[in-house]
Amino acid sequence: MTPNKMMYIDPHIHMTSRTTDDYARMSAAGIVAIIEPSFWLGQPRTEAGSFKDYFSSLLGWERFRASQFGIKHYCTIGLNSKEANNEALAEQVMELLPLFVCKEGVVGVGEIGYDDQTTAEDKYYRLQLDLAKEVGLPVQIHTPHRDKKAGTIRSMEVAMEHGVQPHMVIVDHNNEETVKDTLDRGFWAAFTIYPNSKMGNERMAEIVKQYGTERIIVNSAADWGVSDPLSVPKTASLMLDRGISAEDVRKVCYQNALDAFGQSGQMSESDWLQAVQVDQRDKFSDNSILRGGQEPFVGERKATGQIEDNIIR
Ligand SMILES: [Zn+2]
């Protein structure tokens, strides 16, 4: 990777499934802030309490873990499309959401939308659009992997039907097939860069060359599957190598995510522009990220520089 001093935001990453090594490498690569959407955990939950604890951990322990590597952690709260299909459970989760969406550091309702485009998915997507509108938060939309184009268009049409303005909606997992429809309608178009996949970083560079940088956002969506928490900085390096200007790279790998989710009023550059103090002696509910006599890092993580060496050793 070409070393550079850019700052990055990864606005879609599931750190609950990742390790401290990932945090250390992300910090060293210049990622200053991340957004963790609520999502499906790989197997269905059976109790509403599991959702409650999961939302609490996104606001608590996970935010603390990120802070121990000098990274600002935000999240979006919502009922994912897959689990919307368990209607008895979905009803209970809907009752929990209002208790969480207005908490500090929640920058949107997400990730919500369609998976198989079932009736239940449609019902809970619509209810959550109304919730987002009521509390004035942006919406982070997961678009389906099957029948993507139709599902993406449907997601946008339903959002507009519910009076949610396009500038308040980040449509995720776009590709060449959907980007034009998303941008033409005035929505934010986010792209997930998975390793060894169709939507790789070479094709991302081509999309930026073709469509420009307005309302285009790059993310990793790294989770418990084969994915790469460094997708954003790696794509940025590749774009620079392909002759895309540093200013344009900054827009799609930093500024646009900030502008989109900053509409929540919960995320601002000042959160990380001042040098961030990292003290790994800190604890969260009596728990530390350190093990067996490890040397804590105590020092500054400078916004545009790399975190001190010893934090990642
Ligand atoms: Zn996701």
Q: How many CB atoms lie within 10 A of CB 220?
A: 27
Whole-number Å distance, alpha carbon 187 to ligand 1 midpoint, is 18
Whole-number Å distance, alpha carbon 39 to ligand 1 midpoint, is 6
Q: Which backbone phi and psi does 146 adopt, to 5 degrees?
A: -100, 140
Whole-number Å distance, alpha carbon 306 to ligand 1 midpoint, is 27
CB 245 within 8 A of CB 34: no
Please enumerate in sequence order all residues whose Cβ is within 8 A of that of 204, keeping only pairs 6 or more positions apart, or say none. Answer: 191, 193, 218, 235, 238, 239
Nearest partner of 111 among 148, 86, 135, 75, judged by Cα? 75
- Strand pairing class (298-301; 276-279): antiparallel
Whole-number Å distance, alpha carbon 80 to ligand 1 midpoint, is 9
Q: Determine the angle formed by the axes of helices 231-241 and 201-211, rounding to 10 degrees.
A: 60
10-residue stretch averages of pLDDT, the chain, 313 residues long: 74 97 95 97 95 98 96 98 97 98 97 97 98 98 94 98 98 96 98 84 94 97 94 96 96 98 97 85 89 86 51 43
Whole-number Å distance, alpha carbon 234 to ligand 1 midpoint, is 19
Q: What is the pTM of this model?
A: 0.93
CB 158 within 8 A of CB 119: no
Q: Fill in the DSSP letter of residue 198.
A: S
Whole-number Å distance, alpha carbon 222 to ligand 1 midpoint, is 7
Q: For ligand 1, a single-atom ion, which residues have Cβ within 5 Å?
A: 39, 221
Whole-number Å distance, alpha carbon 111 to ligand 1 midpoint, is 7
Q: How far apart are CA 32 and CA 87, in angstroms?
A: 38
Whole-number Å distance, alpha carbon 166 to ligand 1 midpoint, is 20
- Helix residue ranges per DSSP H, the chain: 20-28, 48-59, 61-67, 87-100, 119-135, 148-161, 179-184, 201-211, 231-241, 246-250, 256-262, 270-273
Whole-number Å distance, alpha carbon 16 to ligand 1 midpoint, is 11
Q: Fill in the DSSP letter of residue 152.
A: H
pLDDT given at position 302: 63
Whole-number Å distance, alpha carbon 142 to ligand 1 midpoint, is 7
pLDDT given at position 201: 87
Q: Mind giving me the DSSP string for 43-99?
A: S----HHHHHHHHHHHHTHHHHHHHTTT-EEEEEE---TTGGG-HHHHHHHHHHHHH
Whole-number Å distance, alpha carbon 49 to ligand 1 midpoint, is 21
Whole-number Å distance, alpha carbon 145 to ligand 1 midpoint, is 12
Looking at the DSSP assignment, which residues form a beta bridge with residue 106? 75
Whole-number Å distance, alpha carbon 90 to ligand 1 midpoint, is 18
